[in-house]
Amino acid sequence: MGIKTNPLWVILISILVYNVSSVCASFDYGTALSNSLLYFESQRSGRLPYNQRVTWRGHSGLTDGLQQGVDLVGGYYDAGDNVKFGLPMAFTVTMLSWGIIEYRDEIASAGELEHALEAVKWGTDYFIKAHTDVNVLWAEVGDGDSDHYCWQRPEDMMTSRQAYKIDAEKPGSDLAGETAAAMAAASIVFRETNPHYSHLLLHHAQQLFEFGDKYRGKYDVSIGVVKGFYASLSGYNDELLWAALWLYRASGREEYLKYAIDNADSFGGVHWAVSEFSWDIKFAGVQILASQLLLENKHHRKYEDILKKYRSKAEFYLCSSLNKNDEGHNARRTPGGLIFIRQWNNMQYVTSATFLLTVYSDYLNKTKQRMECPLGSVGAHEMLAFAKSQVDYVLGSNPRGISYLVGYGTKYPKRVHHRGASILSYKMNKGFIGCTQGYDCWYGKQADNPNVLVGAVVGGPDLQDGFRDVRGNFMQTEACTYNTAPLVGVFAKLRRLEELKYEEKMTSVSSL
């Protein structure tokens, strides 16, 4: 009662509430999280479920695999085209799963766990289908060249649905390794809620790892058509190490950890000092996973020396991202502070770095450790603050004041390079739209896309923070599943931190 009648208390509470609101209103990470999970529904191939929330999409690719005599219906389109590429799809699922493993409670508290699990399962259901025999994995459905001559909604596509596989005669250790990693990580995700499915995923992961290790080779050598789109430039050693560590984490079997230890030197795991982490180059992810074992003390003492070498290279990557390495060994930054690796779809490297920085900051915080970089010591708080700055840049804290997460805020890319989003929805116009008709009537239009690709992270700005929202500017306006996947867990983490901050302030107010 006293508070209501004392103007001083009223003013004090008003100031406190205003400060809390201004802090929490900086960015709505909860909405960003919800949006990011919607994006994966936009990218679905196959027969859409009854609870599909992205209503401008329809069924597509319903005969995938038919001419090869296998069922390859389902999975994800990787970007703005209608091809299903196995390597980036598997990496997307691995990163979604890793985000759930690290931030499950945070995702659940935001009410998004069910949607996150659905996003993972849409991918793993497809991988189970694609792994038709112990030493056979279907790698791609559709042809990138013919697909790129067409501008069609996936519901209309008339391009080749040729499917390509790897096997003992035409191996692909990189693809088998990444798919094994995805299924092993997902098996952890479903361990409590769906133990039978979890066991099935782990079984497939183990078989795929053995297949990739026994029959070694690059998948883009076996499947030449993929070279122009997702060539495996880093080779397959990183994927085999990556798969082994995920299998160790999923199964607890020492043989997988021993594999990563025994091959650490010959596969480059403790030699490659990199400044990027992506669907192709997994070394930084491998090194972070190995470092987690060291930080958590979840390893055998006999492996400690090798794990310390892994950690050293992990911290080179993190120090590079933070500009804490010696000159010439850091990732570039735009004037606005964004990590910049390369011009084409730079945001993929930003979001993956943000995830690794966030995860590592958690482990430093839990173990009360700091990271030593050539240009100074870094603590968990500083590392997380930088990761947050990258997320905030994506959401609009940048020189252009634009959100690169489509559908977030009021200013975001409206002409995303995406076939389905740029053409009137199949639900609105069931008339067939052919290859050239799509280009003539829709691709070159100056108007905004008729369908908003909510939750997509586009390629993003150039080195000078410049961005042209033009459909044909695919280096900047095309979005990919592996751009958004790493942010799911990070959004959930930041949302929960803001929520806790708000609760703390309100507790302080109520105690006055």
Contact 86, 139 (CB under 8 A): yes
d(CA 297, CA 385): 26
Contact 236, 212 (CB under 8 A): yes
The three-class DSSP label of residue 218 is coil
Q: Residue 372: left if φ>0, alpha if ψ -120 to 50, beta else—which one?
A: beta
Q: Residue 141: left if φ>0, alpha if ψ -120 to 50, beta else—which one?
A: beta
Nearest to 341 by CA among 325, 355, 353, 327: 353
What are the percentages of helix, strand and coil residues in the chain, rounded to 5?
55, 5, 40
d(CA 329, CA 155): 46
d(CA 209, CA 348): 26
How many CB atoms neighbour CB 300 within 10 A?
12
What sign does the CA torsion over 70, 73, 74, 77 have?
positive
d(CA 59, CA 44): 9
At CA 245, angle to CA 239 and CA 247, rounded to 5?
A: 100
Active site residues: 417
Strand 339-340 versus strand 371-373 pairing type = unpaired
Per-position DSSP letters for 108-151, written without gaps between them? HHTT-HHHHHHHHHHHHHHHHHH--BTTBEEEEES-HHHHHT--
The three-class DSSP label of residue 249 is helix
**Token pair recorded at residue 506:** 């309100």
The three-class DSSP label of residue 339 is strand
Amino acid at 229: F
d(CA 475, CA 486): 20
- Please state the length of the chain: 512
Q: How far is CA 189 from the centre of its chain?
A: 15
d(CA 445, CA 450): 11
**Token pair recorded at residue 144:** 């990138």
d(CA 24, CA 135): 51
Q: How far is CA 95 from the centre of its chain?
A: 5
Scan for tokens 């997509």, then name that residue. Answer: 456
